[in-house]
Chains A and B, each alone.
Chain A
Amino acid sequence: MIKIAQLSCGSEYSSVQYEIEKAARSVGAKMVYPDVSYADVNNAVKRFGFNPRSPQLKLMIARAVQLADEKYDADAVFISTCFRCAEAALVRNELRRFIQDNTRLPVVTYSFTERLKAAQLLTRMEALVTIVSRKDLLARERQTGLTVGIDSGSSTTKALIMENNKIIGKDWTPSGDVVQTATTVLENALKEAGVEFKQIEAMGVTGYGRFTLGKHFNAKLVQEELTVNSKGAVWLADRQRGEATILDIGGMDNKAITVRDGVPDNFTMGGICAGASGRFLEMTSKRLKIEIDELGKLADKGNWRNAKMNSYCSVFGIQDLVTTLSEGKTFEDVAAAACHSVAEQVYEQQLQEIDIRRPVIQVGGTSLISGLVTAVGEVIGEKPIVPPNSQYIGAVGGALLSSGFL
Chain B
Amino acid sequence: MKVFIDPPNSLILFDLVERFGHEPLGTMAPIQERIDKTEVDMPPMNVSLDDVVKGLKYAGVEVPSGIRGRLALWGPLIEAADAALIMEDPPFNFGCVGCERSNEMAKYLIRRRGIPALTVRYPDDKEEAVMTVGRIKEFLEGLK
Contacts and interface: CB of A to CB of B under 8 A. Distances in A.
Contact of B41 (A18, A59, A85, A115): A18
Given A55-B98, A59-B98, A84 B63 contact: yes
A54 B44 contact: no
Contact of B69 (A14, A41, A52, A81): A14
B138 to A, nearest CB: 29
Interface stretch (B10-18, B46-54, B123-131): B46-54
B100 A114 contact: no
B93 A54 contact: no
Nearest to A16: B65
A18 B64 contact: no
A9 interface: yes
User: Which of B41, B49, B93 has the most CB atoms of chain A within a 10 A radius of its CB?
Assistant: B49
Given A12-B47, A15-B52, A54 B65 contact: no
B31 to A, nearest CB: 10
Given A15-B42, A38-B93, A114 B99 contact: no
Given A17-B42, A58-B92, A114-B52, A85 B66 contact: yes
Interface residues of B, number: 29
Interface string A40-73: 0100000000001111111100000000000000
Chain A: interface size category:
20 to 34
B101 A13 contact: no
A55 B95 CA distance: 10
Interface string A259-303: 000000000000000000000000000000000000000000000
A54 B100 contact: yes
Contacts of A113: 65
User: Which of A88, A113, A114 has the most CB atoms of chain B within a 10 A radius of its CB?
Assistant: A114
A387 B101 CA distance: 47
Contacts of A114: 49, 52-53, 65, 68-69
User: Which of B45, B65, B67 has the most CB atoms of chain A within a 10 A radius of its CB?
Assistant: B65
A10 B41 contact: no
User: Which of A14, A38, A113 has the most CB atoms of chain B within a 10 A radius of its CB?
Assistant: A14
B41 A9 contact: no
B52 A12 contact: no
B39 interface: no
A192 interface: no
Interface string B111-138: 0000000000000000000000000000
A10 B100 contact: no
A14 B101 contact: no
A12 B44 contact: yes
B67 A55 contact: no
B125 to A, nearest CB: 19
Contacts of A57: 98
Contact of A9 (B66, B73, B93): B66
Interface in B34-86: 41-45, 47-49, 51-53, 62-70, 73
B41 to A, nearest CB: 7
B71 to A, nearest CB: 9
B96 interface: yes
A82 B99 CA distance: 11
Nearest to A115: B49
B37 to A, nearest CB: 13
Contact of B64 (A52, A53, A82): A82
A82 B66 contact: yes
Interface string A89-105: 00000000000000000
13 contacts: A9-B99, A10-B66, A12-B47, A13-B69, A13-B97, A16-B65, A18-B43, A21-B43, A53-B100, A54-B98, A54-B101, A56-B98, A84-B62
Interface of B: 41-45, 47-49, 51-53, 62-70, 73, 92-93, 96-101
Interface of A: 9-18, 21, 38, 41, 52-59, 81-85, 87-88, 112-115
Given A55-B99, A84-B64, 18 more contacts: A9-B99, A10-B64, A10-B99, A11-B66, A13-B52, A13-B69, A13-B73, A15-B49, A15-B52, A16-B65, A21-B43, A55-B98, A55-B100, A57-B98, A83-B65, A84-B62, A87-B101, A114-B65
